[in-house]
Amino acid sequence: MSDGRQNLDPVPTLTSTEWRAAEKLFADRLPAAERYVEHLCTTGITHGLLGPREVPRMWSRHVLNSAVLGPELPSAGTVADVGAGAGLPGVALALARPDADFILIEPMERRVDWLDTVIRDLGLNNVQVIRSRAEDLSDEVMADVVTARAVSALKKLIPLTTPLMADDGQLMLIKGRSAAGEISAASKQIRKARLTEPRIRLLGEGLLEEATTVVCAQRR
């Protein structure tokens, strides 16, 4: 086979719950989202961006978990995704919100090359990929929203993300069940960055099988 799927599980079929969520979040871009999942389940695995055990839950745990942030983004804004990796959440959000502009920040060359290939294939004109560390872009990126997923704990993540925020921008960081503990552990960094007290929001309740936990904060 030449499509990169040898020795891999097949691309997962959407369950009825996933289909309803995907249809609502991606609308007419659902076919492109399905194509993105194919990339994740094939070359995304062979490039080491995700483990093969993630294939059966690629939609629910990764793509929909990311895309549910889409309705919360400002209209026609700029979103910076720190540590873009496999494009989660950046590519998923760019598919869900074609009216917004996305900057995907990733320091590793092989991941950047993969992202560039996927973005070209999906025809995403609202995405820019920058190969760099986030801390080196504070004078270049001023985003309305800065997001990240599965990068690091808030204690380390806040100093990386807040310099990329516009003055009236906001952080919307996808986290897990340890979010409250991470907020507590990052109290010093939150004060230093002059952020409002972070709020924990659960997005996608009633739409996804498991809601997405998002930590939100703005400048004081």
Q: For residue 180, tell me if it sits in a domain.
A: yes
What's 124's domain CATH number? 3.40.50.150
Instruction: Residue 189: give the domain boundaries.
Output: 16-218
| Cα–Cα distance, 210 to 60 (Å, whole number) | 8
Neighbours of 159 (CB within 10 A): 15
The predicted pLDDT at position 76 comes to 87
**Structural domain count of the chain:** 1
**Residue type at position 4:** G
Locate 103 and state its tokens: 């900057």
Residues pairing with 129 in the sheet: 104
CA angle 87, 110, 79 (to 5 degrees): 30
Q: For residue 131, tell me if it sits in a domain.
A: yes
Q: For residue 9, tell me if it sits in a domain.
A: no
pLDDT tens for each residue of the chain, 220 residues long = 334 434 444 678 899 999 999 999 999 999 999 999 999 999 999 999 999 999 999 999 999 999 999 999 998 899 999 999 999 999 999 999 999 999 999 999 999 999 999 999 999 999 999 999 999 999 999 999 999 998 999 999 999 999 999 999 999 999 998 999 999 999 999 999 999 999 999 999 999 999 999 999 999 8
Q: For residue 3, tell me if it sits in a domain.
A: no
Asked if 56 contacts 14 with a C-beta cutoff of 8 angstroms, the reply is no
Q: For residue 26, tell me if it sits in a domain.
A: yes
| Cα–Cα distance, 83 to 108 (Å, whole number) | 9
